[in-house]
Structure 1
């Protein structure tokens, strides 16, 4: 465990705090005025995040998933029901990415991956982008959207998020 002190502009406080919380297991932030300027001092106790475990296996991630045919229907209907230009929510992007991951896994198991793996990876990246820029309603444990492991294995992130969503939905 260690103590971090930051001196920054007051307008940067939220961004600095969020970045530190993303990088470390951080405690509450204590804020004080800086002694000689209009800036602020931030103090927090932090520790290294524990090493995350492996991604959920496809079997574990999709244990509660409906059939792929049903998911195709849900995805198509949800996209069709939204007026043009309306933002599709996180559930849509998560279920679409999970569906495409399942299709790619099936193709890979059959020995004919084709383009399905690339399409599934792109859908996973779209979910990650949504989670990075959205309201923060992702699970993110042990890997959050900005984690280097997420960039290295976007489909693993989909499985993590889908497993949590399916269990708690």
Structure 2
């Protein structure tokens, strides 16, 4: 843990605090005017963010997954059997995103062009929205990570 001291214009204090919080894990900013009263001194305790765990490979993530055909059936039945708003739960979007990711991976391996990659990315982004997760650098890798965790607990 360390402390950061910033001297800035008062209008910039929120932007500076938010920018630092995006890079480090920070505590609340303590504010004091400078001696001349024209600027603000900010003091923040900070720490490095923990390193992100490595993304699982597709083989690791989908080792326990049922066949693609089985997952297509589950996704279609779930979408048809439930009222529209009930379909928007996490398990549905996780399994749908994983299914689309697996189809996209298969197409990419076979050099097949189509919409699968775009659809997989969009479904992954929907899962990220549901999870209220920010700063995901690779949405499809996030799906693999979450699916692997989910599958281990089933």
RMSD over aligned Cα atoms: 3.0
Deviation at 1:49, TM superposition (A): 1.5
Q: Which runs of 5+ in 1 are unaligned?
A: 5-19, 31-43, 133-144
Q: Distance in 2 between matches of 1:77 and 1:87?
A: 11
The change in CA–CA distance for 1:47 and 1:65 in structure 2 (over 3 A counts) is same
Q: Distance in 2 between matches of 1:163 and 1:46?
A: 32
**Which secondary structure state, in structure 1, belongs to the residue aligned with residue 127 of structure 2?**
helix
**Which secondary structure state, in structure 2, belongs to the residue aligned with residue 63 of structure 1?**
coil
Q: Distance in 1 between matches of 2:54 and 2:134?
A: 17
- The structure whose Rg is larger is 2
**Which secondary structure state, in structure 1, belongs to the residue aligned with residue 141 of structure 2?**
helix
Aligned residue in 1 for 2:147: 162
Aligned residue in 2 for 1:100: 100
Q: Which runs of 5+ in 2 are unaligned?
A: 5-20, 29-43
Deviation at 1:59, TM superposition (A): 0.5
Q: 1:146 aligns with which of 134, 148, 152?
A: 134
Deviation at 1:87, TM superposition (A): 4.8
Task: Number of aligned residue pairs: give it.
Answer: 132
Deviation at 1:3, TM superposition (A): 5.5
Aligned residue in 2 for 1:35: none
Aligned residue in 2 for 1:63: 63
The change in CA–CA distance for 1:128 and 1:50 in structure 2 (over 3 A counts) is same
Residue 103 of structure 2 contacts residue 116 of structure 2 at CA under 8 Å; is this kept in 1?
A: yes
Residue 82 of structure 1 contacts residue 88 of structure 1 at CA under 8 Å; is this kept in 2?
A: no
Aligned residue in 1 for 2:82: 82
Offset from partner CA, 1:45-83 (integer Å, 9 cap, x none): 652123324311101111111111111111111111112
Aligned residue in 2 for 1:109: 109
The change in CA–CA distance for 1:23 and 1:92 in structure 2 (over 3 A counts) is farther
Matched ranges for 1:1-150 at <5 A: 1-2=1-2, 24=24, 46-132=46-132, 145-147=133-135, 150=136
Residue 62 of structure 2 contacts residue 144 of structure 2 at CA under 8 Å; is this kept in 1?
A: yes
**Which secondary structure state, in structure 2, belongs to the residue aligned with residue 92 of structure 1?**
helix
